A = this chain, B = another copy of it.
Amino acid sequence: MTKKLPDKTVERLSQYRRALLNYLASGKHHIFSHEIANLLHITAVQVRRDIMLIGYTGTLRQGYDVKELIDIIGKIIDSRDGQKVAVVGIGNLGRAIMGYFSGKRTKLNIVAAFDTNPEKVNKIYAGIPCYHNEMLKDIIKNEGISIAVISVPGEYAEKVAEDLILAGIKGIINFSPKPLNVPSHVYLQEFDIVTMLEKVAYFVKKA
């Protein structure tokens, strides 16, 4: 199972798991591919194919064992000992992200936040300590943080990314509008809110 899965499949697996955890609360133990599909509003074939790709197999006429499936997905997408995450830039967006994770105990732990604003440095946000950006390299290295979320204004994004890369970060999620350049051993996911809005606007506009 070492073979890398398609990008999109990994995204959906994460969503399957969340939906299934929720579904467990209904007390049912089995679920059909078309039921999963309905939860995410996608097609049943897609669900079956994704599940096929991770090597799990359901039972005919009964569908998939919910707990087993949740477990398998965990084995695939989680890393054994969890991964540490840092958030750089404690504006509204940074705090929103920290809020999403606070309380939940998953394999992904936000363990540090960074900002340059002295008002914010050395405070605790959603249970996470905020350090000055100057500390970034040291803390990333010492804590073994492998993933960083960049939620600083565009002007600073490049510099932050450089520092992160020098510190040995492995994955970056960039919320700033500045496209980043990363070496091939760093996985980069960009997300640009303005662009997303403009795209929606394009597909919405009636001539």
Contact = CB atoms under 8 A, between A and B. Distances in A.
A10 B181 contact: no
Contacts of A41: 179-181
Interface residues of A, number: 60
Interface in A68-101: 76-79, 83, 85, 91-93, 95-97, 99-101
Nearest to A182: B41
A2 interface: yes
A60 interface: no
A40 interface: yes
A18 B194 contact: yes
A149 B196 CA distance: 11
Interface string A98-135: 01110000011000000000000000000000000000
Interface stretch (A24-32, A43-51, A197-205): A197-205
Contacts of A192: 11, 14-15
Given A96-B92, A96-B93, A197-B85, A170 B14 contact: no
A166 interface: no
Given A10-B203, A200-B173, A193 B97 contact: yes
Interface in A1-22: 2, 4-5, 7, 10-11, 14-15, 18-19
Contacts of A204: 83, 146-147, 170-171, 187
Contacts of A107: 201
Interface of A: 2, 4-5, 7, 10-11, 14-15, 18-19, 39-41, 76-79, 83, 85, 91-93, 95-97, 99-101, 107-108, 146-147, 149, 170-173, 177, 179-181, 187, 189, 191-207
